[in-house]
Structures are given as structure tokens and as C-alpha cells.
Structure 1
Amino acid sequence: MKLLLTSGGVINKSIHEALVDMLDKPIAECNALCIPTAMYGHPWVGPGVKAWKFITGREENPMVNLGWKSVGVLELTALPSIDKERWVPLVKETDVLLVSGGDALYLYHWMQQSGLAELLPTLRAVYVGMSAGSMVMTPKIGEEFVGWTPPTGEDKALGFVNFSIFPHVDHEMLPDNTMAAAEQWAAALQGPAYAINDDTAIKVIDGEVEVISEGHWKQF
């Protein structure tokens, strides 16, 4: 699997170059699918205008608006109600998945319910996550980030990587997301973790981890 796990999207030159390196052709020749599902589970970002802005590429965080050949929408909550033959081939043929922020556990739930979680390890597509879209790939998110409560009541996620992620460190609109708070969060997890700001991303190819940053981050 090729994963680009960002905090704030493809927000600077270094992250953009990392993405281009992960693709097997230029962005202008790549077909993308955006997944807005996580937004619906978070009261700050969806449903409504912000979900529309993500899908249409009109938000400030660069994801959908990077110049793709085409962009489609893959809404996970709809997939259990339609035949897999209608959407699985589409996902297998796409070059990149663009997964929005929002609520990581809501996203995890619908990745499982839709069948996408099972399909992900088999895909050739590059997976680009933003915030919750990145956190969902980790073993667990930590109690601090639990909003929507899954049926299990647990904070576990997909576990496709062996570390957890604390996003948006020192973001001006998130005063509680300090590096000190991240250290407390990491101590409670008792496992590998990274705290990253929006100018940082984590690149993972076949289990090999590389931090891409023009900002600041810390590994725990």
C-alpha cells in the first residue's frame, strides 16, 4: 500500500512532491475519487456547505483541487445499499483516493460496513488522507479524539500502520492541540505515535515510514 497521511492536505511543495513521487504518472493524467464520509460524523464540518466545498475542491486545504484528470465521489454510507459490481471496479481502476477529515471513528465504521476496508490492501491507488482520513489508518486514535461513538465503544481504527497520529499541532483555530497535549495523548496510548502540524505528512510505502515536513512534528 502507498499512503500519504497528512494533517491539513497537500498543503506545501514538499508534500506535493512526495505525492507526485508516489504516483506512476503526472497528476494531470490521474483519476481520483474523493471520500467525504468522515465529515458527516463531525459537527464542525458536515453535513452541508463544508462537505460540498471538499467535494468541489473549493476549500483551502488542497486535495481535490490539485489538477486531477477527473474527480469522482465515493460516499461510503451509500455503498452497502448497492451491488458491489457497481462500485468495486471503479475503486480498483482509480489512481488515488482523497479522504477528507472529520470524525475518524465514523469513517472507520463506514469503511468496515461498506467493504472498502477489506478492499484497501489490494488496491494500486495511492491513499491520501487528511486529518481523520489519516487517523483512520492507525491502530487507535486516543480518547481525546473520540466524538462519534461506534457500536463497540472503542477508539480503535484500521491498524494499517503501526503508529497513531495527533494532527493539527499548534493550529491557531485549535488551541487545545498543543505539543504538550500531544505528549499526554501519546503517553496514554502506550504505543508508537506522531504529532504533526499541517505542514507535515507521513509517507508510508509497504510499511516503510518517512516524515515529510516543512513545519514541526514529534515522534513518540
Structure 2
Amino acid sequence: MKLLLTSGGIRNDSIERALVDMVGKPVAEASALCIPTAQWGHTMCGPESVRGFITGLPPWGGMTSMPWRTLGVLELAYLPSIGVERWQEWVRAADVLLVDGGDATFLAHWMRESGLLELLPELHDTVWVGVSAGSMVMTPRIGREFIAWAQAPDDTTLGLVDFAIFPHLDVFPTNTREAAQKWAATLELPAYVLDDESAISVVDGEVSVISEGEWFTLGPAS
């Protein structure tokens, strides 16, 4: 699987070009599924924000309003009740998975429970496009600061990459450079701090930063 781990989505031409390069064809020729699951685990999200992500309405819009050839919705919490033989066909047919933000520990839980995590190694050409928690879920840990789901046992996530992500630099009052430094000091991991104009691509193990904004690294590898 190819990963495009964004802070705020497909926010500029550089990130969009990276997406097209990873998919290998124009957006208008690609099929996508959007996954809003992480939103249900965050206290700041709810029915209106989920609808906004799915429809592409502002201020949540962006990725789902791109001119995809086809676009569908995949809610991970429903998948265990309908059988893998049904939903795996939908996932395998998609070129791109658009995974929204919310709470990354909640998303990790449902990726395991649904069986989607087990399927990922088979999706060699599929592009995972994460936003915020949809990106952070791929890291080993997110830090206590980013847990909003009350039932989260700890801050561990999936560990499919070996670095952490601090998103939304200077977008929210709590997401400052100083806050990122304190956060990184508790993780003992290489970490990328991204504003909403920045993203990380991971293809065949090669990690690259795409940015028209501000980003920096912290931790052991910085």
C-alpha cells in the first residue's frame, strides 16, 4: 500500500500532484472510498462534520469533492456484521482510500475489529490518503495529547510506519511549535510536525515530505 499522510487533506497543487503520481492516473479516472470512522471517536466531531467530510462541504470539504470517477463511503464499524466476502470486494476495487480525521485510537480499533488491517498488505497499488488522525493511525504512537476517545487503553496505534506525526501546526491554539516539542519528548520516536499545507508520502519504504507550508522534524532522527 502507498501512503499519503496529510495534516489537512489535499490542500495545494504539490500534494495533489503527489496523489496523482501515486495513483498513476488522473483523479477523474480513479475510484475512491471515503472512511469517516475516526470522527465518531472524537468529542469535537459528530453527524454534521461526518456529513461535511462525505459530501465535501466546507469547512470539512476537499478530498471528497474532487472529481473522482466513482466515490463511495466505507464505515468500518458496520463491516463485521456484513461479512468479509462482501466488503473486501469494494476495497480491492478502489484506487484510493480517503481516511478522515478524528481519534486515531478509535480508528485503529475499528481497523482491527473490521478486518481492514489484515487486508492492507494485499493492497499493493492502493493509495491510503489520511487526514490528521487518518494519517496518525499509521504511526506507532500518537501521544496522550491526541487521545479523545474515552475508551482508548493507551496511545498506541498501528505502527505501519516508524515515525510519529504532529498535525495542524499553528492551526489550533494548542498546536504550536512549543507544544510539538513537549509532545515529541514523550514519544522517543522520530517525528514529523506538519502544517495543513504539508504531507508525507511513503512508497516502497521511501519517506518524502511534500509541502507548500511549514514542517520540521523532532526526536531521535531530527
Distance apart, 1:122 and its partner CA: 1.3
Deviations 1:191-211 (A, max 9, x none): 111110000000110111000
Deviations 1:39-65 (A, max 9, x none): 11112122x111011111213441111
- Which residue of 2 is the match for residue 183 of structure 1? 181
Distance in 1, matches of 2:121 and 2:36, equals 20
Tell me, what secondary structure is at the counterpart of 1:38? helix
Aligned positions of 1:97-136 closer than 5 A: 97-123=97-123, 124-136=125-137
Distance in 2, matches of 1:76 and 1:218, equals 32
- Which residue of 2 is the match for residue 38 of structure 1? 38
Distance apart, 1:149 and its partner CA: 3.8
- Structure 2, gaps ≥5 residues long: none
- Which residue of 2 is the match for residue 198 of structure 1? 196
Distance in 1, matches of 2:165 and 2:158, equals 13
Asked if the contact 1:7–1:130 (Cα under 8 Å) also holds between the matched residues in 2, the reply is yes
Runs of 4+ in 1 over 2 A off after TM superposition: none
Asked if the contact 1:34–1:100 (Cα under 8 Å) also holds between the matched residues in 2, the reply is yes
What is the percent sequence identity of the aligned residues?
57
- Structure 1, gaps ≥5 residues long: none
Distance apart, 1:118 and its partner CA: 1.0
Distance apart, 1:150 and its partner CA: 4.2
Asked if the contact 1:109–1:150 (Cα under 8 Å) also holds between the matched residues in 2, the reply is no
Distance in 1, matches of 2:50 and 2:21, equals 28
Aligned positions of 1:46-61 closer than 5 A: 46=46, 48-60=47-59, 61=61
Tell me, what secondary structure is at the counterpart of 2:186? helix
Aligned positions of 1:1-220 closer than 5 A: 1-46=1-46, 48-60=47-59, 61-123=61-123, 124-150=125-151, 153-171=153-171, 174-220=172-218
Normalised TM-score (structure 2): 0.95
Asked if the contact 1:34–1:74 (Cα under 8 Å) also holds between the matched residues in 2, the reply is yes
Distance in 2, matches of 1:191 and 1:204, equals 17
Tell me, what secondary structure is at the counterpart of 1:189? coil
Deviations 1:50-98 (A, max 9, x none): 1011111213441111110010000000001111111001101110000
Distance in 2, matches of 1:121 and 1:62, equals 27
Asked if the contact 1:137–1:161 (Cα under 8 Å) also holds between the matched residues in 2, the reply is yes
Tell me, what secondary structure is at the counterpart of 2:38? helix
**1:182 partner amino acid:** A
Deviations 1:110-167 (A, max 9, x none): 001000011112112100000000000000101111111446x121111111000000
Asked if the contact 2:43–2:148 (Cα under 8 Å) also holds between the matched residues in 1, the reply is no
Distance in 1, matches of 2:55 and 2:73, equals 10
Distance in 2, matches of 1:146 and 1:53, equals 22
CA RMSD of aligned residues (A): 1.0
Asked if the contact 1:105–1:149 (Cα under 8 Å) also holds between the matched residues in 2, the reply is no
**1:56 partner amino acid:** T
Distance in 2, matches of 1:211 and 1:42, equals 27
Distance in 1, matches of 2:162 and 2:145, equals 19
Normalised TM-score (structure 1): 0.95
**1:90 partner amino acid:** W
